[in-house]
Amino acid sequence: MSTTHPVLTRRRLLAGLAGASAAGFLAPRAVAGELFAQVDLRGGHDADLSGLLPDAIDDQSRLFQRAIDLAAAEGRILRLPPGTYVMSNIDLPDGARIAGVPGATRLIYGGRGHGLMAEGARRIELSGLVLDGANQKLGPHVSGLLHLRGVTEAILEDVTIAGADGHGVTLEACGGRITACEIFGARLAGIYAVESRGLSITRNVVRDCANGGILVHRWSPGEDATLIDGNRVMRIAARAGGTGQNGNGINIFRAGNVMVTNNHVSDCAFSAIRANSASNIQIVSNQAIRSGETAIYAEFSFEGAVIASNLVDGGTVGISVANFNEGGRLAVVQGNLIRNLTTNGPYPAEYAGFGIGMAIEADAAVSGNVIEGAPRWGVLMGWGPFLRAVNFSGNTLRACGAGIAVSVVEGAGAALISGNLFDAIPGGAILGCRWNEVVTGDMAKDGAGKFTHLTLERNVVA
């Protein structure tokens, strides 16, 4: 006579444990279904119940898709145990929530079209996952290893994204938040967000990407309101070349009302923070270290920029608020520290060249800044006729090749240069220029003379 022993499976083990722990609380008539109902209160859905196996050699795309669909349909979190899962062409349905063990649950892209994608969902949540693109080619229908389109609330938390053939993550017309994630090794940018709807990008690490760090763009100028706060961005290259299109740590393009605050950005081929045609931009309390070109840039057709309390160490230009010729105007530049600039740029110098602490042109209040170690000019004020309503007061310039180069070209507008301190400035404190040509002596000593658009007062030359 033989005895048949039941096979011990994970499901049976869970049932046994649940029964043992609950024995003192459940009535004797409780049945197994009721026990599992108690377990289900966790809101989780175990991956192995759908046939998924960690560290399997085979591609598990079909099983993975089934597990996601089932969990989303039941309103549950798909909880993945540690291990490696090879998958491709995964479509995330509305309500998909996938949670792994941070650093230990790895989803490897198998290279057959796209990695993870969602379109038109109300809410998608990913947490505790590693998405590895394995440098496998993405299909033409996506630009990111994780590509989300029209997701009202996209939640990414504690997700690592590595080795993407395109962007690490692409968000088109999405809201939500990306928090505490690490993104590296992307062929394009770490994060590419376009036409966002109240997106937050906070406390992430974006590093070692080939062409960009965090990009917030719009197809045409408009309200965007993305918050970019507390991120660490480092070692961003410009493999695709250009003179500023690539190689920026944080790049804002046509996106209005964006806040860039408390970020640490270092070793970028071009700018640490570059805002192009981005009105009402705030760039506040950031560190921009060892930039390859202009460290902090507000350029082209913007109206409204607040650039305050930033620390710039290294770069060819510290802070530039430029392109009045394109409509770039209206700025407050206050309380920034700029130092250790260089004349060696990533391309042959143009216009006024490199080695300039600050460039400013139109409708601006500039106060309380300290500029040290700009080898060419401490400040470039205006360019040809493109100068209007600049109040430059209460700033300190020291150890610069020369102090302020202010435009005296016909048509240049009013500038007030008042109460500034110039120390160890061998080339002169305030000089009138016609584009690159110096045409006056030191006006800090001699006065503005015939240039009635200039008001100079109470400046100190040490």
**For the segment 202-237, what is each residue's pLDDT rounded down to a tens digit?**
999 999 999 999 999 999 999 999 999 999 999 999
Is residue 101 one of the residues assigned to a domain? yes
| Whether residue 187 sits in one domain with residue 68 | yes
> SS3 breakdown of the chain: % helix, strand, coil, rounded to 5?
10, 45, 45
If one counts every other C-beta atom within 10 angstroms of the C-beta of residue 157, the result is 17
Domain boundary among 198, 232, 248: 198
| Whether residue 155 sits in one domain with residue 62 | yes
Is residue 440 one of the residues assigned to a domain? yes
- What are the phi and psi torsion angles at 131 (to 5°)? -105, 115
- Indicate if the pLDDT at residue 5 is higher than 90: no
What pTM, to 2 d.p., does this model score? 0.90
- Indicate if the pLDDT at residue 366 is higher than 90: yes
User: What does the mean pLDDT of the chain come to?
Assistant: 91
pLDDT digits (tens, 9 = 90+) for 66-98: 999 999 999 999 999 999 999 999 999 999 999
pLDDT digits (tens, 9 = 90+) for 111-150: 989 999 999 999 999 999 999 999 999 999 999 999 999 9
Query: Which range of residues forms the domain containing residue 162?
Result: 44-198
Rounded to 5°, the CA angle 195-201-205 comes to: 130
Is residue 305 one of the residues assigned to a domain? yes
Q: Would you call 32 helix, strand, or coil by DSSP? A: helix
| Whether residue 320 sits in one domain with residue 186 | no
* H or E element at residue 17: helix 10-22
Domain boundary among 148, 175, 198: 198
Q: Bigger pLDDT: 14 or 455? A: 455
CATH number, domain containing residue 142: 2.160.20.10
pLDDT band at 50 (very low <50, low <70, confident <90, very high): confident
Rounded Cα distance between 397 and 375, Å, is 12
Buried/exposed 248-280: b ≥16 CB within 10 Å, e otherwise: bbbbbbbbbbbbbbbbbbbbbbbbbbbbbbbbb
Rounded Cα distance between 104 and 258, Å, is 35
For the residues 437-444, what does the mean pLDDT come to?
98
Query: Under a CB-based contact definition with an 8 Å cutoff, are residues 271 and 307 in contact?
Result: no
| Whether residue 303 sits in one domain with residue 191 | no
DSSP labels for 105-151? EEEEE-SSB-SEEEES-SEEEEES-EEE-TTPPBPTT-SEEEEEES-
Rounded Cα distance between 100 and 105, Å, is 5
| Whether residue 327 sits in one domain with residue 181 | no
| Whether residue 332 sits in one domain with residue 192 | no
pLDDT band at 32 (very low <50, low <70, confident <90, very high): very low
| Whether residue 450 sits in one domain with residue 352 | yes
Is residue 140 one of the residues assigned to a domain? yes
Is residue 241 one of the residues assigned to a domain? no
Q: Would you call 263 helix, strand, or coil by DSSP? A: coil
If one counts every other C-beta atom within 10 angstroms of the C-beta of residue 446, the result is 11
Is residue 33 one of the residues assigned to a domain? no
Q: Tokens 């349905």 sit at which residue?
A: 93
Q: Which residues pair with 113 in a beta bridge?
A: 138
Question: Residues of the chain with pLDDT > 70: what percent?
Answer: 89
For the residues 294-309, what does the mean pLDDT come to?
97
Query: Under a CB-based contact definition with an 8 Å cutoff, are residues 325 and 364 in contact?
Result: no
pLDDT band at 274 (very low <50, low <70, confident <90, very high): very high
Rounded Cα distance between 294 and 270, Å, is 7
Instruction: Tell me the two tokens of residue 25.
Output: 């609380």
The total number of structural domains that make up the chain: 2
| Whether residue 452 sits in one domain with residue 329 | yes
Q: What is the dihedral of CA 18, 21, 23, 26, to 10 degrees?
A: -70
| Whether residue 50 sits in one domain with residue 193 | yes
| Whether residue 188 sits in one domain with residue 91 | yes
Note the pLDDT of residue 112. Answer: 80
| Whether residue 427 sits in one domain with residue 304 | yes
Query: Under a CB-based contact definition with an 8 Å cutoff, are residues 266 and 279 in contact?
Result: no
Question: Residues of the chain with pLDDT > 90: what percent?
Answer: 88
pLDDT digits (tens, 9 = 90+) for 239-250: 999 999 999 999
Rounded Cα distance between 4 and 94, Å, is 44
Is residue 12 one of the residues assigned to a domain? no
DSSP labels for 301-341? S-EEEEEES-EEESSSEEEEE--GGGT-EEEEEES-EEE--
Query: Under a CB-based contact definition with an 8 Å cutoff, are residues 50 and 68 in contact?
Result: no
- 92 CA to centre of own chain: 25
Is residue 7 one of the residues assigned to a domain? no
Domain boundary among 198, 228, 249: 198
| Whether residue 280 sits in one domain with residue 192 | no
For the residues 331-337, what does the mean pLDDT come to?
98
